[in-house]
Structure 1
Amino acid sequence: MNDLIDTRRFEEIKAAGELPSPKGIALSIARMSQRGDASLAELARLVQGDPALVGRLVRAANGSLASGARPVVALRDALAVLGMAAVRNLALGFSLISSSGEGLCRSFPYARFWTGSVIRAIAMQKILMRLRTAGVEESFSVGLLAGIGALGLASVFPAQYSRVLDEARGDPVALLDLERQAFAMSHVELSAAMLADWGMPRFFVAAVLRHEGALTLPAEDGSREYGLTLALGLARAIETACMADDAGRSEAVDAAKALAARMEWVPEQVSALCEDVAADWKDWSAMLPVDAYALPNLSMSAEPETLAPPQPPAAFPSAANDAPAGDGLRVLVVDDDAATRLTLQTLLVRGGYRVATAEDGVRGMECALEFQPHIMVVDWVMPQMNGLELARTLRQTRMGRSIYIIVLTSHEEDARLVEAFESGVDDYMVKPLRPRVLEARLRAAQRLVRMQRELETEREEIRRYAAELGVSNRRLQEVSMTDALTGFPNRRYAMERIAQEWAIAQRSNRSLSCMLIDVDHFRQINETYGRDVADQVLEQTARAIRACMRTQDVVCRTGGDEFLIICPDTDLQQALACAQRVGAGVAAVPVQAGRLRLKSSISVGVAERLPAMPDADALLTLADQALLAAKKAGRNCVRTAG
Structure 2
Amino acid sequence: MSSPIDLSRFEQLKASGDLPSPKGVALAIMRVMQHDDVSMAELARIIRTDPAFVGRLIKAANGLIGYNRRPVASIQDALTVLGLPAVRTMALGFSLLTNYRSGSCSEFDYGHFWSASLLRAVAAQALSQRTRAAAPDETYCLGLLSRVGELALATLYPREYSQLLAAVRGDASVNLLELESREFAMNHAELGAAMLADWGLPRVFTEAAYHCASGTAGSAPEGSRDHVLIQSLSVATLMAQSCLVDDAGRSTVLHRVLAAGSRLGFDEEVMTAMCDDVAREWLEWGALLNVQADRLPPFEHYLREPDTGIDRIVSADPVPTAAPQAPAQAQTQRLRVLVAEADDDIRTTARRALLDAGYDVAEARDGYTATELALDFQPDMMLMAWQLQDVSGVELVKTLRKTRIGRAIYVVALTDSVSEDLLIEAYESGADAVLGKPVNPRLLQARLKAACRLTSLHQEIEHDREEIRHFAAELAVSNRRLQEVALMDSLTGFPNRRFFTDRLTQEWSASSRSGRPLACLMIDIDQFKSINDTYGHDVGDSVLRQVSAAIRQGLRSHDVVARTGGDEFLVMCPDTTLEAALRCAERVRSTVERAEVVAGMLHLRITISAGAAARNAGVVDTDALIKRADQGLYLAKQLGRNRVASVQLQEVTESGNADNS
TM-score, length of structure 1 as denominator length? 0.53
Q: 1:211 to 1:545 in 2, by over 3 A?
A: farther
Q: How far off is 1:606 after superposition? A: 2.6
Q: How far off is 1:510 after superposition? A: 4.0
Q: 1:474 to 1:89 in 2, by over 3 A?
A: closer
- Alpha-carbon contact 2:336-2:380 (below 8 Å) kept: yes
Q: State the one-letter code of the partner of 1:555.
A: V
Q: State the one-letter code of the partner of 1:524.
A: S
CA distance in 1 between partners of 2:286 and 2:613 (Å): 31
The counterpart of 1:495, out of the listed 501, 506, 525, is: 501
- Alpha-carbon contact 1:516-1:562 (below 8 Å) kept: yes
Q: 1:506 to 1:40 in 2, by over 3 A?
A: farther
**2:542 aligns to what?**
536
**2:57 aligns to what?**
none
**1:599 aligns to what?**
605
Q: State the one-letter code of the partner of 2:249.
A: S
1:348-407 deviation digits (Å, cap 9, x = unpaired):
5775535242435x8866775676543221223568864356445644554432111011
Unaligned 5+ runs, structure 2: 1-120, 134-146, 155-159, 173-212, 215-233, 318-331, 650-661
Moved more, 507-516 or 328-337: 328-337
**2:167 aligns to what?**
45
Q: 1:35 to 1:437 in 2, by over 3 A?
A: farther
**1:441 aligns to what?**
447
Q: How far off is 1:409 after superposition? A: 3.0
CA distance in 2 between partners of 1:87 and 1:491 (Å): 34
**1:353 aligns to what?**
360
Q: How far off is 1:564 after superposition? A: 0.7
Query: Equivalent residues in 2 for 1:122-271 (5 A)?
Result: 152=257, 185=270, 187=272, 189=274, 208=278, 211=281, 228=285, 231=288, 239=295
CA distance in 1 between partners of 2:505 and 2:415 (Å): 68
**2:480 aligns to what?**
474
- Alpha-carbon contact 2:267-2:476 (below 8 Å) kept: no
Q: How far off is 1:571 after superposition? A: 4.6
- Alpha-carbon contact 2:266-2:476 (below 8 Å) kept: no
Unaligned 5+ runs, structure 1: 12-29, 51-82, 104-144, 158-179, 193-207, 215-226, 245-289, 292-311
CA distance in 2 between partners of 1:463 and 1:9 (Å): 21
Q: State the one-letter code of the partner of 2:447.
A: R
CA distance in 2 between partners of 1:7 and 1:87 (Å): 16
- Alpha-carbon contact 1:520-1:601 (below 8 Å) kept: yes
- Alpha-carbon contact 1:604-1:639 (below 8 Å) kept: yes
**1:556 aligns to what?**
562
CA distance in 2 between partners of 1:156 and 1:364 (Å): 32
CA distance in 2 between partners of 1:413 and 1:476 (Å): 63
The counterpart of 1:485, out of the listed 485, 491, 512, is: 491
Q: State the one-letter code of the partner of 2:165.
A: L
Moved more, 373-382 or 385-394: 385-394
Q: Structure 1 vs Structure 2: percent identity of aligned residues?
A: 39
The counterpart of 1:465, out of the listed 459, 463, 471, is: 471
Is it true that 1:626 corresponds to 2:632 in the alignment? yes
Q: How far off is 1:556 after superposition? A: 0.7
CA distance in 1 between partners of 2:239 and 2:385 (Å): 35
Q: For residue 468 of structure 1, give the secondary structure of its aligned residue in structure 2.
A: helix
Q: State the one-letter code of the partner of 1:430.
A: G
The counterpart of 1:100, out of the listed 250, 260, 264, is: 250
* Greater Cα radius of gyration, structure 1 or 2: 2
TM-score, length of structure 2 as denominator length? 0.52
The counterpart of 2:312, out of the listed 317, 320, 341, is: 320
Q: How far off is 1:98 after superposition? A: 1.9
Q: 1:499 to 1:94 in 2, by over 3 A?
A: closer
CA distance in 2 between partners of 1:634 and 1:578 (Å): 20
- Alpha-carbon contact 2:504-2:572 (below 8 Å) kept: yes
**1:141 aligns to what?**
none
1:409-449 deviation digits (Å, cap 9, x = unpaired):
34456786566445432223222124464355334324422
**1:455 aligns to what?**
461
Q: How far off is 1:475 after superposition? A: 1.6
The counterpart of 1:404, out of the listed 404, 407, 410, is: 410
CA distance in 1 between partners of 2:493 and 2:389 (Å): 69
Q: 1:601 to 1:368 in 2, by over 3 A?
A: same
Q: How far off is 1:152 after superposition? A: 4.7
Q: 1:570 to 1:376 in 2, by over 3 A?
A: farther
**1:525 aligns to what?**
531
User: What is the aligned residue count?
Assistant: 425
Q: How far off is 1:633 after superposition? A: 3.2
Q: How far off is 1:471 after superposition? A: 1.7
- Alpha-carbon contact 2:418-2:435 (below 8 Å) kept: no
Q: How far off is 1:464 after superposition? A: 0.8
1:465-502 deviation digits (Å, cap 9, x = unpaired):
11111221222222222223323222122111111222
Q: State the one-letter code of the partner of 1:43.
A: L
- Alpha-carbon contact 1:380-1:409 (below 8 Å) kept: yes
CA distance in 1 between partners of 2:484 and 2:521 (Å): 23
CA distance in 1 between partners of 2:635 and 2:337 (Å): 79
Q: For residue 560 of structure 1, give the secondary structure of its aligned residue in structure 2.
A: coil
Q: How far off is 1:229 after superposition? A: 9.1
Q: How far off is 1:330 after superposition? A: 5.2
- Alpha-carbon contact 2:380-2:408 (below 8 Å) kept: yes
Q: How far off is 1:558 after superposition? A: 0.9
Q: 1:329 to 1:580 in 2, by over 3 A?
A: farther
- Alpha-carbon contact 1:99-1:372 (below 8 Å) kept: no
